[in-house]
Amino acid sequence: MTIAATYDIVPATCPARAVVSLADARGRHEREALRGVCATGRYRCSYYVWGEGPALVFIPGLCDDSQSFLLPIALLSKNFRCIAYDLPTGQGDGARLAGYGLSEHAADLLALLDHVGARQSFVYGSSFGSTIALKAMHQSPQRFDRAILQGGFAHRPLAWAEVLLAQFARWWPWPMRQLPLRLAALRQGHFAPFADKPPEAWDHLLERSGAPPMTAVAHRALLLHELDLRPILPQIRQPVLLICGESDPLVGKACEEVLLRGLPNAVRVELRRCGHMPQFSHPEMLAEVAGRFLSAPENQDLACPRR
């Protein structure tokens, strides 16, 4: 039976939550995290492990990397063994991006978990990473106890202009920060949730989303365009939390409804005044909701009560 519930997480009505600064997160990461490289058989996968407790692996999105989760992991590492890694880029990691499909991404995830000794794990998939999480849970259900899909989807074809741009960008080796008009597009579509945040939060987003090479992002985008995971959703029976931004400009309610209708055991949480990237704009709220879901008995109410 699908748990098609929606909870509003309202900062003013939730208990006081821990606050983390980027400087503190970076300092603790440098001191506490264990970094390594895993040879998956397809590429040399850079990763870090931070914290103690049940394993929780973070899968990056289209323009993310392992450092994109620094702020929420700084909080979650107190209760979870957080594992974050970089997707293949084809630049210095041995990956051949042509023909790299979702099955290969899922196999890389399992290879990494084997490498770090995590036979079972919770999984957190961000945006494009949600499709890797869904594929891995379908292929190896015994490996994953619960999942969090943030800005997730099972089917999201691109607009024709996006497809055209991605086809050209496959051949561009430069980092995303050099993409023409990138800053203007980001500010127009994503800045509003950062308006009342410290400037470092927006700067951190610009830094991390500008780091991946355009060729890698383009290959991921074209793969995304062809994906349709709707047929496998009924077979994914693990508890799944959908974390959705109230003003997400990239993944709308229709994508969320597909997941809610298709997954047998899913619940949805909407973060108020939040966009597509809460790991940058709302890390404290994100960590609180994720930690509550992963630690609570199944079907427990996740919401903070309204006043």
Instruction: Quick: pLDDT tens for 15-36.
Output: 456 788 999 999 999 999 999 9
58-108 residue pLDDT tens: 999 999 999 999 999 999 999 999 999 999 999 999 999 998 999 999 999
| Domain map (residue ranges) of the chain | 6-295
DSSP-derived secondary structure letter, 42: S
Contact 230, 156 (CB under 8 A): no
Domain with residues 6-295, CATH architecture: 3-Layer(aba) Sandwich (3.40)
| Contact of 249 with 275, CB cutoff 8 Å | yes
Compute the mean pLDDT over every residue in the chain, rounded to the nearest whole number: 91
Question: How many beta carbons lie within 10 A of that of residue 117, not counting itself?
Answer: 9
Provide the whole-model pTM: 0.93
Using pLDDT thresholds of 50, 70 and 90, give the confidence band for residue 304. very low
Task: Give helix 160-169 / helix 214-226 axis angle, nearest 10°.
Answer: 140
Predicted pLDDT of residue 17: 64
pLDDT at 160: 95
Question: Strands, E, within 2-75: which ranges?
Answer: 6-9, 34-39, 44-50, 55-59
DSSP 15: P
Q: What is the 3-state secondary structure (H, E, C) of 155-173?
A: CCCCCHHHHHHHHHHCCCC
CB 259 within 8 A of CB 154: yes
CA 122/CA 79 separation, integer angstroms = 13
Does residue 13 register a pLDDT over 80? no
Q: Flag whether pLDDT at 305 surpasses 70.
A: no
